Chain A
Amino acid sequence: MQESAELHDLSDDSDYAASQQQQQQELRSVVRTDSGKKIVESESEGAEVVFLKDNVTIHPTQFASERISGRLRLIKQASSLFMTWIPYKERADSVGAVTEKDRNLYTIRAVPVTDIRSIRRHTPTFGWQYLIIVLSSGLAFPPLYFYNGGVREFLATLKQHVFLVRSADDVNVFLVNDFQDPLQKSLSSLELPGAVSIANSSSTPTFANSVPPNENFEGADVGTSSTSQYGGRHGLKVNDPARDLSIQVLEKFSLVTKFARLTTSNILREIQNDGFLANDRKKPSQSLPVNNHETGLDEVQSVPDTISVTPDPLEIFIVWTSIEGLSDAELCPVKQKALCRKENQGEEAATRVGTFELVDCKEFDKITLVWGQPRQPPLGSEEWATFLDAEGRVTDSKALRKRIFYGGLEQQIRNEVWKFLLGYHEYDSTGAEREYLASVKKVEYETLKYQWQSVSPAQSRRFTKFRERKGLIDKDVVRTDRSSSFYDGDDNPNVILLRDILLTYSFYNFDLGYCQGMSDLLSPILYVMKDESESFWCFVALMERLGPNFNRDQNGMHSQLFALSKLVELLDSPLHNYFRQNDCLNYFFCFRWVLIQFKREFDFEKMMRLWEVLWTHYQSEHFHLYVCVAILKKHGKKIMGEEMDFDTLLKFINELSGQIDLDATLRDAEALCICAGENGEACIPPGTPPSLPVEADLLYPLQDDTDT
């Protein structure tokens, strides 16, 4: 890795400088022939290409074969330096699913270098060197792979024109600054506005125009290959030794950037439709409705106006840079409104810092890109009625699930809505059908229950398995949520109901039987349903998904913990590496979280909120794993900083119980989930709970559940 030579020395390399000058003269002629670009027009006003590299490539998906190659240039105009990366037109090497749309999407059109906050250099052992360029706004471009080399030259050229310093935290991170302003020549410049207004620059096209208008995030697949290719993709991974961690980082970036751009363009379009903006809108990073106190100062003023008229806050994905100490007051009004019902605003802000980061936390400690959505108030009965047609069918189950994902449910309608979420009721059933079903199911339940009730003492003596099971359940129901008033006291009838339902379930599913943890899952259901038979059937539906958690061989748990380790590897590789080095990769410290869906980690109300969010399967069927990642990631620095070993870590995680901020965690988890995209789903082997087993699809045809 020759590249790791001190960069500071490079510009003093006279041989290099000479070759550079020569190259520049050649390049200038090349650029002149590059017709049709605004850059060229402006070149006549004094633009000069100071760096050009061909075959600089991005990988929009994880498939190395799907790539977009282009030309990277640094262009000097007047006293400003711009960077562009223009993909080639259709070329032989652009195989796979790369479309013209992708090409448009990824094109980097004249970004002022002053808008670049940092550049990270990657020099993987195998494969090409690449750079990740992060803007002051926090947006990152997809990794640029230098197929023909040139990373060193690129950085050296930059250094000739802008103030470039190596990060004190990471030798591979270079901080870029406005070289014209000596006041900013310090490491602390990260905290300062780093962008110069380029409002009158004609060389920066309106970004929103480059995205087809029919595209929006909801509908856009966050990758380009289809989601039904798990097997094939998996095979590819195994057979492709070149696919290393760096490729994963790359995938992550491509997805994130694509998402951010789509989102941004949506916002822009909305804003434009509202007539608030003229067409002189520039780069997405400057147009975000965010606390851009790091980016163009003159942009900030216009933001509150535009955002406050946007009709539906839910549709706005707010992308903002995470700045330590950021207060809610600095956030846009929509965000403020959403936050003002939060009790603990200080912590809310704190959790946004360094929680979910665009890139590995070690790499970009201070350059975190965060997005999320404000939580909504819980769905209440009036609004719930609007989801039902005259016969009581849920007309748009996806909209419903989305609504619940972002807001949860009010307690008084939980008993109705949980039945849908759990899959006990079908969304397209009518109210009358459900009423009928309840009566049929009640009879069926009684029949099942009678199976064990009719076991005589004499039979029981000869029925060890039954005795053991009953003994275990008897012991456990009195050790379940006894601090809640619903279950406390002696001879509490609700405890008896818990016992009866669990014992009946152990007959209904005799193979699985009873296992500790089940009472924890049943208790909130009974609390909500307050009806024995309905509770039983809801529990049955839940166990269709979570039953494997309780398999004797623990395979359901192991597959989830394995998927979790893969997700952490994808989303927080420093933490993953730490766990690997410290022999913590079994993730047993997350065992309780996964086994009973965080039941013991939150108070009762919060836990029910989390459950209904998980059960929507809105962003992912395995959203609970992203919740795990979010919590781990939030504490990653502490875990690594204090060098926790397995024991200490286990104790630490255990003691987080009751300390976890649910709303912040959900936001983090969602961001991570979106960030991971289909690469995240690829980490999760098919059939991992709570996915339904294949054969059960016929029994529980849950709408849209496979579309995540």
Chain B
Amino acid sequence: MSYAYLFKYIIIGDTGVGKSCLLLQFTDKRFQPVHDLTIGVEFGARMITIDNKPIKLQIWDTAGQESFRSITRSYYRGAAGALLVYDITRQRETFNHLASWLEDARQHANANMTIMLIGNKCDLAHRRAVSTEEGEQFAKEHGLIFMEASAKTAQNVEEAFISTAATIYKKIQDGVFDVSNESYGIKVGYGGIPGPSGGRDGSASQAGGCCS
């Protein structure tokens, strides 16, 4: 399938916060509470459209357990976007670890990686242990985009992945990335424009036309 751009995403966060479920909801539009725990890394992919351009998201779903951090770090390389996930019902374990996840990401990913903070399981509001404001505050402090979502009800799942892509796309348009350098986690596809210098509006309609 042709695409204008391919973005590499990585999903990180403590074990059991729902990383794999978010991915499955996004790629397959279903919630599967019983799936095998992730060892190492799993992959998912989906096409989305931004500004009428087909964009392929290649998503790396990582294992969350602390012991595997040294392995997980090798997956950051070349990611354009990261979804940093915590569980709103588990304040202590998952929200408090965000800083260390962020540190890993900053250290091992490229500096321009777009990070989206996701407070998952917002359907379980009655068991909420982290307030929306706390999440917003953390995101603001660290320059992240923020959203609460539910892999179970699909609330905000689509939005989380797409708005991350939109942010990356805007960075391309603004010339932040040299898209010919794949270490930014972006590949230019056949249906796409060669680079940020390719002009915005003209090429946008061109790319949009070739794939739907």
Contact = CB atoms under 8 A, between A and B. Distances in A.
Interface of A: 468, 471-472, 475-476, 478-483, 488, 515-517, 519-520, 550-552, 554, 557, 586, 588, 591-592, 595-596, 600, 646-647, 650-651, 654-655
A468 B93 contact: yes
Interface in B3-45: 8, 15-16, 34-37, 39-43
Contact of B16 (A475, A483, A517, A650): A475
Nearest to B73: A588
Contacts of A557: 71
Nearest to A478: B34
B168 interface: no
A650 B41 contact: yes
A534 to B, nearest CB: 25
B36 A516 contact: no
A384 to B, nearest CB: 33
Interface stretch (B61-69, B118-126, B202-210): B61-69
A646 B34 contact: no
A517 B71 CA distance: 14
Nearest to A586: B74
B74 A517 contact: no
Given A516-B37, A516-B67, A592-B40, 17 more contacts: A472-B15, A472-B16, A472-B65, A475-B37, A478-B34, A479-B37, A482-B35, A515-B65, A516-B39, A519-B37, A557-B71, A586-B74, A591-B71, A595-B40, A647-B77, A654-B41, A654-B43
Contact of A588 (B34, B36, B65, B74): B74
Contacts of B77: 646-647
Of residues A479, A480, A520, which shows the largest number of chain B Cβ atoms within 10 Å of its Cβ? A479
A429 B63 CA distance: 42
Interface of B: 8, 15-16, 34-37, 39-43, 63, 65-68, 70-71, 74-75, 77-78, 93
Contact of A516 (B8, B63, B93): B63
B15 A516 contact: yes
A475 B90 CA distance: 13
Contacts of B41: 650, 654
B74 A552 contact: no
B74 A516 contact: no
Contacts of B93: 468, 471
A516 B16 contact: no
Given A516-B68, A552-B67, A554-B67, A647 B8 contact: yes
Contacts of A481: 36
Contacts of A550: 67
B34 A482 contact: yes
A654 B42 contact: yes
B78 A591 contact: no
B156 to A, nearest CB: 23
A515 to B, nearest CB: 5
7 contacts: A479-B37, A516-B37, A595-B39, A600-B39, A646-B74, A651-B43, A654-B43
Nearest to A593: B40
A554 B70 contact: yes
B167 to A, nearest CB: 21
Contacts of A475: 15-16, 37
B40 A480 contact: no
A426 B176 CA distance: 65
Of residues B15, B40, B93, which shows the largest number of chain A Cβ atoms within 10 Å of its Cβ? B40
A557 B74 CA distance: 15
Contacts of A591: 39-40, 71
Nearest to A647: B78
Nearest to A515: B67
A516 B66 CA distance: 10
Contact of A476 (B37, B66, B78): B37
A49 B70 CA distance: 63
A687 B166 CA distance: 50
Contacts of B75: 650
B34 A517 contact: no
B67 A588 contact: no
B39 A592 contact: yes
Contacts of B42: 654
